[in-house]
Amino acid sequence: MTDAVLKPTKKDFQSDQEVRWCPGCGDYVILAQVQKLMPELGIPRENIVFVSGIGCSSRFPYYMNTYGFHTIHGRAPAIATGLKTTRPDLSVWVVTGDGDALSIGGNHFIHVLRRNVDLKILLFNNRIYGLTKGQASPTSEIGKKAKSTPYGTIDAPFNPLQLALGARAGFVARTTDADTGHMIQVLQRVAAHKGTAFVEILQNCNVFNDEAFDSFYAKDVRDDRMVRLEHGKPVLFAKGKKGLRIVDGLPQIVDLAAGGSIEDVMTWNEKADASAAFALAACVAPDLPEPVGVFRAIERPLHHELEASQRESVKKKLGPGDLSKLLCAGDTWNIGS
């Protein structure tokens, strides 16, 4: 009789490395939820890879008992693309931050989304450069006073959700480090999606940008200033007393307690045209409730499958490749003779 195969647990995905983030950092919460999720996937640890760039978030691979690669600033999507293309059997996760992904890595970020590489991208957004000690980042709000902008930044911030939607990402979501139940639900959706799955995780940096998102996700205001998107359900908030609709491309509040009709409240459809998702991604508290959940979830052809199909088609047409012919093709000349 053989011993029963033991199901892995969260502990099996915890590495032997000391977790070194600032006490109270939201990254601890995200790490715990990802480690909790991994056993649910039924994927052997040796078939999971975490790839990161540079920043506080990018220490993540050290703390996962899987394969991992701590790469260079902004280049994690490019390296992860190469890995997934050559090893499509692997589950490849990219961990990045608002500075790493949207500044020096912005080019790689948008192109991995449009190509629909089968990656899971977790973007930790704290609206600040934390590792380099508190400079304004590409998502810092206008007027943000930081070490690099002592009189307040004048640069309009990126909206990561709108950027992803504009790049034609097939899966776009948002969650927060303040709600672990919601986070694990979103991460489960990320893991299940085939293609590039992008999730912005709003994360508190309690040292250099504390309470950056408290205006809408703090416990005492979240009912009135945060709305959860659920496919097939009305977009309601304020304990069901208010809802949202879109008129001429702009979100509006429907006050049900003041006589508004539930018929005017939009029903969320994560598979519809991306224009509604784009409009809701622009909502900013306190004027409008800020949405969390899945904004977009559609299936698109996978990059590695298209690449493999094209390669086989060319091989059948032209036969096996010849490296020497490739290197000697075209015009050649000698220098100094």
Q: What is the pLDDT along the chain (337 residues), one digit of tens a residue?
A: 455 567 899 999 999 999 999 999 999 999 999 999 999 999 999 999 999 999 999 999 999 999 999 999 999 999 999 999 999 999 999 999 999 999 999 999 999 999 999 999 999 999 999 999 999 999 999 999 999 999 999 999 999 999 999 999 999 999 999 999 999 999 999 999 999 999 999 999 999 999 999 989 988 999 999 999 999 999 999 999 999 999 999 999 999 999 999 999 999 999 998 999 999 999 999 999 999 999 999 999 999 999 999 988 988 888 887 888 878 877 767 777 5
| 262 and 122 within one domain | no
Residue 255: strand pairing partners: 242
Any domain includes 332? no
Q: For position 110, which CATH number holds?
A: 3.40.50.970
| 73 and 187 within one domain | yes
C-alpha span between 210 and 263 (Å, rounded): 40
Residues of the domain holding 114: 10-231+270-303
Any domain includes 324? no
Contact at 8 Å (CB) between 92 and 68?
no
| 158 and 240 within one domain | no
Q: How many domains does the chain have?
A: 2
| 87 and 184 within one domain | yes
With 0.95 as the threshold, say if the pTM is over it.
no
Task: Using alpha carbons, select from 94, 152, 102, 150 the residue that is nearest to residue 126.
Answer: 102
Contact at 8 Å (CB) between 73 and 115?
no
| 227 and 293 within one domain | yes
Any domain includes 2? no
| 255 and 166 within one domain | no
| 276 and 181 within one domain | yes
Any domain includes 310? no
Any domain includes 97? yes
